[in-house]
Structure 1
């Protein structure tokens, strides 16, 4: 468990929002796991391996801020070969907490930091799988792999192997890796600091620089970082445009400059995104007051442009709209395709559209009963009082929500 308190510090959102924040001011949580085997996801027979120990060290600027260490009950026996490798026996974890109890504490310990691991795909894969099994949302922290970084920084002559034990000896780590989680996490901290010191001599001073320095990022990808330079640190919608100004991709962000910058530093590993970035020649944006407005604008832009690199733009029939019915005393209706411009939407789900319609009806007095009322008729038995919001009766004048809907029409 955490052995030392964690002082007040910058969150990763604060760090990543500014290209001027140095690696020395970035908080890292270096984590290592021991497990019952190598299968983080379920095999054909439904079986999978489980975590037996978590060790982590929180560091910033070369200073250790806290440590986290605990055995974990995998709720199964530990294979003999794993016992031989780690020294962790089934008896040792019998009274340990389960991952359902440990994982929330670890995520809190790691909150706001860059997660670092040696061969990060293994450790992060097990943590994500555990979160899925426990019904805990994965926070999607930025991840740095010291194996990848070592392969980029060190020559083959310096380090023929990038095993943790080899690198720990190479950098003179104060801790020898032992296949126990906290020891290995401490050794990885020393490796991380040594590698960061090396890249600093090559002009890599921020986490964004470091992401761009890692392999699998093409020179073309790096060269387009200037496309994000003039974007604001504000919520909004961004549009990647191609050579003919066609819209290639539409997305939303709580911080436009930070999010768009991630497409050029390797933070998004999706192959189709790399292909899209290679084609992009410009990035337009629309500032929004909050995430809700950005989400609505994004859906409208998807409907208008059907960008080829957005999966959601392929399914416009899945969107929903709130409209007024065409009758003397109109009602709000939820439809797939509005027949006029007095519509609110689009909504991602029918339930969202229904909730919005109910809210509008509550505050505008639009009737909610389903029977049709003629132009010369009045609200009566066909519209019980419990189904109609109390508003003054007017023979045939349209309700105020008609004007409201006009003001919400798609642009």
Structure 2
């Protein structure tokens, strides 16, 4: 059987540095900022390939403005020198023609390229899509203080023995940058960096030993799936997912992987296994299941899906709220799951603040005869203990509480919002913040429960969506769990394919209460796909509906607050 030839991408083949043409450019300007009206006064460039100089470009530029005296002293370029020089309107197109087809190189490239791009666009020209290398940035990754005191061009020129001394004239500085570039290439070559792709993604934190493990990715396909890093004992170290297994795994050995623990993991790894999946969603779900199964030490998320908390509204004569670790088949109502006890306690506090349900833990008889507790005296409990409330009145309050868990959140939102306004009016902002966090925790939990429950009640939801490659991805979801996934072949009958997929999909029993037949995290991923644009429902076995007045409609405010808090800059 003849293996099919695979057309390798540039990322895999790589473009050898020795075969590429580089245009090393330097500018002199009237100032440091375009926003302050600074203009270009000189352009210098050197074109090189394989260590050989192919040509040079140099021109003064008339800035049509006075050159500040300190700039003239620094560069040696005076107003008289540029008086008869060509304007930027003719100098810039000439340079861009010189640099056509090259990789653009500059020392502190954002400065030079920023000026070139600005004036190109201001003249109505589209700036060419140059690939850009910054020798200053590259030097900071590999040059140590033993080599040079800093990464200024003058210091690097001395460190690499440049034949040209930088003197703040464009062509001289470009020539010095060429020598620095070649010096950097020599060092990188000894580290196993020989292509432009490897150079662009080089990081000193990826060791030579790690780079030599690139072969571990070569057997993986260019398909979506899950990858598992293993050590010499075949223990799973790390699990990840990607739309392109080979490209993603290869990046661990060649790209700028800045996470130190990932570098440590790659150093231990001796093998990478790939599991191809029909669709990206199937890959994400498989990743979650495998992480939960293997609990790899280098994965931080999703390792312990069983470690969750729930709020339970008990099913008894005098119901109460309880913090529990499992959902039971006891006909009670549950809110969750919560990934941490702290979030669950915040939601519990929000509910207790809104509904004066009893907080004692023992089971009460139909006609209790006890003394009231301090919560009753504070009017935070209806006090069934001492007969202060009858069964019907207590049941009406519990019904409202249950509705806020399962169908809406209005009473909790209104009650805590009033309290926050009162505290803010009294300038008790920290106390108001505590109530805000409680409310946010409850709204997110209620929204999650209501959305997940709507899907987990359905025995089956089958849906399809046309993906970016034009093919139709089909998923079969049963009681919130992904039971089957596939892509309709171009020559297949869509209806027949879906029926075959349904017939071969996993048989899934219903979960208890609101608990999905999978983990909550898996069902959320499935739900996000179902709610994405372009999804077409093929079959729905059950009622997939979310409450119109559900908690989700309150999420936008709390999400905005959370995002605002993340982006606030602290005081110096």
Q: How many Å separate the matches in 1 of 2:15 and 2:155?
A: 31
Q: How many Å separate the matches in 1 of 2:89 and 2:22?
A: 24
Correspondent of 2:50 among 61, 66, 88? 61
Query: 2:72 aligns to what?
Result: 83
Distance 1:201 1:50, change over 3 A: same
Distance 1:58 1:264, change over 3 A: farther
Correspondent of 1:118 among 69, 90, 107? 107
1:31 maps to 2:20: no
Query: 1:163 aligns to what?
Result: 152
Query: 1:143 aligns to what?
Result: 132
Alignment of 1:163-242 (within 5 A): 163-214=152-203
Distance 1:91 1:266, change over 3 A: farther
Q: How many Å separate the matches in 2 of 1:282 and 1:218?
A: 27
Deviations along 1:165-196, one digit per CA (max 9) or x if unpaired, are 11111111111111000000000000110110
Bigger relative contact order, structure 1 or 2, given CA contacts below 8 A and separation 6+?
A: 1
Distance 1:71 1:217, change over 3 A: farther
Query: 1:365 aligns to what?
Result: none
Unpaired stretches in structure 1, ≥5 consecutive residues: 1-14, 233-237, 251-256, 268-280, 286-295, 309-314, 318-411
Deviations along 1:27-66, one digit per CA (max 9) or x if unpaired, are 11110000011112x2xxxx42111110000001000011
Residues 226 and 276 in structure 2, CA contact (< 8 A), matched pair in contact too:
no
Q: How many Å separate the matches in 1 of 2:275 and 2:92?
A: 41
Residues 23 and 205 in structure 1, CA contact (< 8 A), matched pair in contact too:
yes
Residues 227 and 283 in structure 1, CA contact (< 8 A), matched pair in contact too:
no
Query: 2:561 aligns to what?
Result: none
Count of aligned pairs: 267
> Shift of the alpha carbon at 1:225?
8.6
More helix by share: 2
Query: 1:271 aligns to what?
Result: none
Considering only CA atoms, is the larger Rg found in Structure 1 or Structure 2? 2
Q: How many Å separate the matches in 2 of 1:128 and 1:90?
A: 24
Distance 1:196 1:127, change over 3 A: same
Distance 1:118 1:217, change over 3 A: farther
Deviations along 1:326-375, one digit per CA (max 9) or x if unpaired, are xxxxxxxxxxxxxxxxxxxxxxxxxxxxxxxxxxxxxxxxxxxxxxxxxx
SS in 1 for 2:145: coil
Correspondent of 1:129 among 118, 128, 132? 118
Alignment of 1:215-364 (within 5 A): 298=468
SS in 2 for 1:213: coil
Query: 1:100 aligns to what?
Result: 89
Correspondent of 1:71 among 38, 54, 60? 60
Q: How many Å separate the matches in 2 of 1:18 and 1:135?
A: 37
Aligned Cα root-mean-square deviation (Å): 4.8
Residues 198 and 255 in structure 2, CA contact (< 8 A), matched pair in contact too:
no
Q: How many Å separate the matches in 2 of 1:89 and 1:210?
A: 39
Give the TM-score normalised by structure 1: 0.52
> Shift of the alpha carbon at 1:214?
3.9
Query: 1:49 aligns to what?
Result: 38
Unpaired stretches in structure 2, ≥5 consecutive residues: 1-8, 228-240, 257-273, 279-465, 475-524, 526-531, 535-572
Distance 1:218 1:73, change over 3 A: farther
> Shift of the alpha carbon at 1:249?
9.1
Distance 1:300 1:28, change over 3 A: same
> Shift of the alpha carbon at 1:162?
1.1
Q: How many Å separate the matches in 1 of 2:19 and 2:215?
A: 24
Give the TM-score normalised by structure 2: 0.38
Distance 1:138 1:168, change over 3 A: same
